[in-house]
Structures are given as structure tokens and as C-alpha cells.
């Protein structure tokens, strides 16, 4: 693991440039792939994480804070009455101000959303990275023009990463330097769930057996499956940890054995999983889940829990095919798989999961990503000292 330096002394070099990341995800919403990768980069170089704008301001401004990991989190605020063109114009100015005020001279542009091209295409980065976590165009509320913007981004990107194997297979013909980089696991961290520990207060009163899920509750959740499973086994208690997004909370099934505990910090997740008997991935099979690669699958396994999932391709391969997760799509099959896991899961299954997980880690995944990014950076001497001139086009420099 890379030691954490004194970040106040970090200076961009050609070998280790700053990173300017543009994302559709809030940094403090759910701890997932961007946080795992970018916090590791932040141990060695400056990382700026620019979120989508919040439309709540009388005049545009950027709220910039430094996360404990060292990542600079940039939250843009813009007026609420702007159309898309005006909003992008304001975002361009805000991003240019970040580049200038923090003296980003040698930097990588790192995209999680192609829509950010509208206000960053004028920048002159050392390299462009497109980390394609999901098929965003299939998600509820996907913006118009996303597919076209992604095509443009792929034409600009020096390297493209995908968050799973199925997404790689769907897009590998679209980019000459594309790599499947499935999300990984911090096995030691989630392994804390195997230790005896106090129950979280809001879970302590929930009877056993407990069937648990953590993650965002959105259009990817198979609501009918969850409702039918809970109705079929009123003696089981279904615990769902995570925020509700993009769906009406009223559409979620209710009942005495359904417990919605809301969003929790990443650090607290092992204490919740420790009290579960089976961990589940009750995902619908729809356009939004066609290419997802749930990070929670290896996290559940690292926590020592048996896993039951619907037939999400990146769960079936490799976890279902190797017997590390049970796969079922119908309510009867899902309930039967949970019932079997409650009585058959033992030390042998946990040991098999540990052997599988020993081949991966977020540190190893980050190291691979680091090599892929380094390979597309311009060849330069480590001793080169960058000039302190922001990398903007002449037009942008004249505007700011």
C-alpha cells in the first residue's frame, strides 16, 4: 500500500500529474469505485473531484473542500433557472477557475460522465481517461445526448476502463485501448464483519434470521421479488441499508418483516453485515442492470456471508459458476436459495470464498489502473519541472 505523504507538498510531474475528475456521483453519497481508486491516487498526487452542479444559487460558485483522504471535492452551485447551454457555460467558468486557482499545469482528465465534455473539451490535459462504470444511458433519468457524448468521449480518451466484464464485452469494439477492470474488494475491512461486535442500535431489535442488502434502492431493485419473498417467509426479516434514489419510496414494499434502515457510512457497513444470516442481491433484470457489476458481491463474501442473487451476468460469472453465490430469479427460487443458504453455509464455503478473493484487492486493481494510465502519458523525465501556467486554450485563458 502506498504510504500517505504530506499532501501539502504534492507537485504535479509528467509521471504523476494531477487528476481532474468529472463525475455524475456525489462524493459523499455512496462509497464505491471512484472513491476506492481516487483516494489511492491522492496518496501520491493531487486529485480534484468535480461533481454535477447543484441548482440552488443566486450566482454561480464552487464549494471546494478537502476530504480526509486528500481528495479535493468540488461542488458547483449554479442558478436554478439556467437552460442546459447556460449551465454548461457556468460550469466551464467554474472548472477553469479551479484549474487556475489551484495551478493545475500537468493533469489527467478523468471522466465518469460523458456529459462533462460540454464544459471541459477546451482543456489541454496530458491524457484523457474514461472510467465507464455503468451503461448510464440505460438508467432512469439519463440526459438527452448521453449516447452521442459518450461516442465523442471515446474518440478523445487515451484509455478506457470498464467496471465489469459484460460492459467490456459490449464496448470493446468501440475503443482501441479498452480494458475490463472489475471493481474489487477490501477483504480485510469487510472481514471485520466476522468478529463478535455490538449491534448497531437500529438493527439490534430486528429478529433473526436476517436477510440483508446494502446499496442504493433505485430502479435496479426487483421490488416485486422483494415483496413476494418477504410475504412468503414472514418469519424472516429483510434488512435494507442504503438511500432511496430515483424511485418513489412509497413503491417499496412494507410489512412487519421489512426494515429500511436508510443510508449508512461505509465505515459502519461491517457492523451491519455482522448481524445478517444471508446477504442478497435482489436486482431486477432490466436495461439498467444489464451491464452492472455489483461491488457488493465480493464484499458480502469477504464478510463471511452466503450470497443469493438474481441472474446478473457479472454475478453469475464468476460467482455463480464457481458456487460462491446462489442464483435465482423467481420468488420461489429466491426463497428456496435463501433457505438452503441458512442451513448449508459453513466453513468450507467461507474458505472457498477467501481463496477466490485472495486473487484480488483494491490495491492491486488501483496498481493496474495506474499502469494503464501511465502508459498513455507523454514520455518525459521525472526530473522535468512543470511550469505554473494553467492548461487552458487561449480563448479560455482570455475569459477567466
- Name the CATH superfamily, with its identifier, for domain 7-184+362-399: Glycogen Phosphorylase B; (3.40.50.2000)
Give how far Cα 208 sits from Cα of 174, 197, 202, 236, Å: 49, 16, 14, 7
* Alpha-carbon span 185 to 200, nearest angstrom: 23
For residue 15, what are the contacts with CB-CB under 8 A and spacing of at least 6?
374, 377, 380, 382
- Element housing 309 (H / E): strand 307-309
> Hey, where are the domains in the chain?
7-184+362-399, 187-357
All cell numbers assigned to 211: 436477510
SS (H, E, C) 220-273: CECHHHHHHHHHHCCCCEEEEECCECCCCHHHCCCCCCEEEEECCCHHHHHHHH
Name the one residue in this structure whose C-alpha cell is 457492523: 271
Helix (H) or strand (E) holding 226: helix 223-232
Per-residue pLDDT of the chain (400 residues; tens, 9 = 90+): 333 444 455 777 888 999 999 999 999 998 999 999 999 999 999 999 999 999 999 999 999 999 999 999 999 999 999 999 999 999 999 999 999 999 999 999 999 999 999 999 999 999 999 999 988 887 777 788 899 999 999 999 999 999 999 999 999 999 999 999 998 999 999 999 999 999 999 999 999 999 999 999 999 999 999 999 999 999 999 999 999 999 999 999 999 999 999 999 999 999 999 999 999 999 999 988 999 999 999 999 999 999 999 999 999 999 999 999 999 999 999 999 999 999 999 999 999 999 999 999 999 999 999 999 999 999 744 444 443 333 443 333 322 2
64 Cβ contact list (under 8 Å, min separation 6): 72, 73, 74, 75, 98
Radius of gyration of the chain (CA): 22
DSSP state string for 50-92: EPPPEE--SS-EEEEEE-TTSPEEEEEEE-TT--HHHHHHHHH
CATH assignment, 187-357: 3.40.50.2000
Amino acid at each position: 500500500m502506498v504510504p500517505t505523504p504530506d499532501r501539502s507538498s504534492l507537485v504535479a510531474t509528467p509521471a504523476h500529474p494531477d487528476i481532474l475528475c468529472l463525475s455524475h456521483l456525489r462524493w459523499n453519497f455512496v462509497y464505491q469505485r471512484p472513491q476506492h481508486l481516487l483516494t489511492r491516487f491522492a496518496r501520491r498526487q493531487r486529485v480534484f473531484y468535480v461533481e454535477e452542479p447543484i441548482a440552488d444559487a443566486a450566482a454561480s460558485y464552487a464549494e471546494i473542500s478537502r476530504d480526509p483522504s486528500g481528495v479535493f471535492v468540488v461542488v458547483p452551485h449554479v442558478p436554478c433557472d439556467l437552460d442546459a447551454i447556460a449551465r454548461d457555460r457556468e460550469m466551464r467558468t467554474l472548472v477553469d477557475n479551479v484549474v487556475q486557482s489551484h495551478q493545475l499545469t500537468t493533469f489527467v482528465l478523468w471522466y465518469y460522465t460523458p456529459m462533462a465534455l460540454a464544459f471541459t473539451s477546451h482543456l489541454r490535459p496530458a491524457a484523457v481517461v474514461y472510467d465507464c462504470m455503468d451503461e448510464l444511458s440505460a438508467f432512469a433519468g439519463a440526459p438527452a445526448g448521453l449516447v452521442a457524448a459518450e461516442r465523442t468521449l471515446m474518440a478523445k480518451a487515451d484509455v478506457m476502463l470498464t467496471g465489469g466484464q459484460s460492459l467490456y464485452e459490449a464496448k470493446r469494439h468501440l475503443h482501441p485501448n479498452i480494458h475490463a477492470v472489475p471493481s474489487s474488494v477490501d477483504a480485510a475491512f469487510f472481514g471485520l464483519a466476522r468478529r463478535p461486535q455490538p449491534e448497531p442500535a437500529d438493527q439490534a431489535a430486528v429478529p433473526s434470521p436476517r436477510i440483508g442488502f446494502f446499496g442504493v434502492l433505485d430502479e435496479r431493485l426487483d421490488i416485486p421479488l422483494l415483496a413476494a419473498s418477504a410475504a412468503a417467509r414472514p418469519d424472516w426479516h429483510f434488512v435494507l441499508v442504503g438511500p432511496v434514489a430515483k424511485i418513489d419510496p412509497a413503491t417499496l414494499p412494507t410489512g412487519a418483516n421489512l426494515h429500511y434502515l436508510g443510508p449508512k457510512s461505509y465505515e459502519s457497513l461491517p457492523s451491519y453485515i455482522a448481524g445478517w444470516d444471508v446477504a442478497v442481491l435482489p436486482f431486477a433484470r432490466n436495461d439498467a442492470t444489464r451491464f452492472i457489476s455489483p461491488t457488493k458481491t465480493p464484499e458480502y463474501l469477504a464478510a463471511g456471508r452466503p450470497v443469493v442473487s438474481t441472474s446478473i451476468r457479472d454475478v453469475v460469472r464468476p460467482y455463480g459458476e464457481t458456487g460462491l453465490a446462489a442464483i435465482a430469479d423467481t420468488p420461489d427460487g429466491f426463497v428456496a436459495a435463501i433457505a438452503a443458504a441458512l442451513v448449508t453455509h459453513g466453513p468450507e464455503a467461507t474458505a472457498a470464498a477467501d481463496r477466490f478473493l485472495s486473487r484480488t484487492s483494491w490495491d492491486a486493481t488501483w496498481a493496474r489502473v495506474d499502469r494503464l494510465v501511465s502508459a498513455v502519458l507523454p514520455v518525459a523525465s521525472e526530473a522535468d519541472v512543470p511550469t505554473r501556467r494553467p492548461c487552458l486554450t487561449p480563448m479560455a485563458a482570455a475569459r477567466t
